[in-house]
Structure 1
Amino acid sequence: MIRLILTVCIALVASVPPVQAQQGGLVTLQTRDDSQGWESVGRLDIAGKGFCTAALIRERLILTAAHCLYEEDGSLIPASRFSFRAGLRDGRAEAERSITRAIAHPEYDFQGGVTDPSTVAMDIAVLELSQPIRNSRLQPYRIAQRPITGDQVGVVSYGRGREEAPSLQEVCNVLGLQTGVIVMTCDVEFGSSGSPVFMVIDGETRIASVVSAMAQINGQKVSLGTSLAGPLDRLLSHFATAAPARIGGEQRLISVGERNSTGAKFVRP
């Protein structure tokens, strides 16, 4: 599978022309005005561990990456250790909630690793908030159809070196798709796992993907996202009846102040 994903990713990049559309850089959302429309993205803190990024999709439900639910040894992180801090900026959040339940996609294989496209394709999870978020500034995001090669997308994320405020990359590009995995030029870092990837549809910002991993392809840094077409409906149906996510696999989270010197080509952000 390692050879497959390497071959697939190189082929995707090699088969598309150089990006002609403008590529936007990361912008820190420092003020209330900057953050308008993005308040429903938040930092998903894991006590004693680190954090991921998540986004509100229902009044009582957030969406993130499935691998954020596990310890490195494959053990399940108790829901009580999670907290969602919507719109967190410089120590203040628009809303804070604890988590009562966390469910990964039922077909997600945590042991598959980031080089297995079938694992990345199902790397999504939903977490139930202790109380609904009802705030006119924090509206749940709707889901977009799967993007196609050449589409422009954007991403809002927290990450290493930018833990205290979200960063927006308004314009990045879809390089290709393979087996439910979306390869993008979006700039992500450790802590960006679960970050929502957005598209603007008829003037409305919708979530088109969730960041699962980052990779280097021919020296170019890219991000890998999960296609939400189909998998999210399956996950939400599973959530209605499922127990907490099963044990297995590994994860990578960034702790505040942690440095990372990994040379891995494929890593979880």
Structure 2
Amino acid sequence: MAAILAFATIGGAEAADRDHLPGILGRDDRTPLDNQDWPWAAIGRVNRTIGGFCTGTLIGPRHVLTAAHCLFNRRTGRLIGAGDIHFLAGYRRGSYLSHSVGRRILVAAGYDYRAPFEAANLGADWAILELAEPMAIRPVPIRKEPLPSGVELVRAGYGQDRAHLLSIHDGCAPRPGSSPPGLLMHTCDATHGDSGSPLLMRGPEGPAIVGLDVAAGRLGGTLAGLAVPATSFHTFASATLSGSGGNEEP
């Protein structure tokens, strides 16, 4: 893979020129969503007391799925204390449906915050934030099966230019062709602050998480979004939620 772009870092609150936002794949197809119905209620902002934010999704009453790089201090290269991370579910214009600080952080084995943005490291760029308090919001399930061909996706997150309202790109898709091992290339627009946002696939029982947006990159000269496929974290997430894997490293 040539030129992986590190756009998907930590979002700030400043507005940005949308024509030059990194991670926008041509025309900006994101739409603001002023709605707190499920599954949007389970998506929220991951705020850090040291500044900046990312996006996370409630996958259990106490567990939030997000990008691993969101939980590190850029200056020190070390994990931020779990109690210094706040998850605001259903965040919307300064209000939210539920709030909790973190209690524990579980980062994927093999992830190296200081490593270059290489495909192998980005494939491990996922983490689960365990919350101090449970949330009475229906979690979003994780799909364990590979994606079917021809599927349409929805990506939902809090970009730096719309920091106080969820934005979605509905109708994006996996990028045609092969993806680097451990990654899912896609056509969904995303930028700073959208790190850790879910890629969703609609199904008969409602949307399910099929990927976790982490960065953008070029392959063959074409810019594409980069996500960790749900098949990479489904097993550990299921064990953590059931209590059988919660005391082990991913």
Shorter chain as normaliser: what TM range? 0.7 to 0.9
Task: Give the residue type in structure 1 aligned to 2:87.
Answer: F
Alpha carbons of 1:99 and 1:222: their partners in 2 closer, same or farther (altered >3 Å)?
A: same
**Structure 1, 218-227 or 82-91: larger mean CA deviation:** 218-227
Where 1:204 maps in the other structure, the secondary structure is: coil
Per the alignment, residue 163 of structure 1 pairs with 163
Report what 1:96 is aligned to: 99
Residue 31 (structure 2) aligns with: 27
CA drift at 1:242: 3.9
In structure 2, what is the Cα distance between the partners aligned to 1:24 and 1:200? 22
How big is each residue's C-alpha offset from its partner over 1:21-42, in whole Å with a ceiling of 9 and x where there is no partner?
Answer: xx9921111244xx44311000
186-195 or 142-151, larger mean C-alpha shift:
142-151
Cα distance between partner residues in 2 of 1:46 and 1:133: 19
CA change 1:113–1:240 in 2 (3 A) is same
Contact 1:105/1:124, CA 8 A, preserved across alignment: yes
Task: Indicate yes or no: 2:247 matched with 1:241.
Answer: yes
Flag the structure with higher strand content.
1
Cα distance, 1:7–1:45 mapped onto 2, change above 3 Å? closer
Q: 1:150 to 1:31 in 2, by over 3 A?
A: closer
1:12 is matched with none
Please give the secondary structure, in 2, of the residue aligned with 1:169.
strand
Which residue of structure 2 aligns with residue 68 of structure 1?
Answer: 70
Using the size of structure 2 for normalisation, the TM-score is: 0.80
Report the RMSD for the aligned CA atoms in angstroms: 2.6
- Aligned-residue sequence identity (percent) comes to 26
**Distance in structure 2 (CA, Å) of the matches to 1:37 and 1:75:** 32
> What residue ranges of structure 1 are gaps of 5+ in the alignment?
9-22, 246-269
Residue 80 of structure 1 pairs with residue 76 of structure 2: no
What TM-score, normalized by structure 1, do the two folds share?
0.74
> Could you tell me whether the CA contact under 8 Å between 2:172 and 2:187 is conserved in 1?
yes
Relative to structure 1, the CA distance from residue 150 to residue 110 in structure 2 (aligned partners, 3 Å threshold; closer, same or farther) is farther
* 1:105–1:234 Cα contact (<8 Å) kept: no
Residue 75 of structure 1 and its aligned partner are, at CA, apart by 1.6
User: What's the secondary structure of 1:90's corresponding residue?
Assistant: coil
Per-residue displacement from partner, 1:28-72 (whole Å, max 9, x unpaired)?
11244xx44311000000012200100000011010011111112
Q: Any idea what SS the aligned residue of 1:234 has?
A: helix
Distance 1:228 1:113 in 2: 23
1:107 positional shift: 2.4
SS of 2:172's partner is: strand
TM-superposed deviation, 1:7: 8.8
Counterpart position of 1:226: 228
Flag the 1:40–1:49 CA change in 2: closer, same or farther, 3 A: same
CA distance in 1, matches of 2:170, 2:186: 13
Question: Structure 1 224/148 Cα, relative in aligned 2: closer, same or farther at 3 Å?
Answer: farther
Distance in 2 between residues matched to 1:157 and 1:236, nearest whole Å? 23
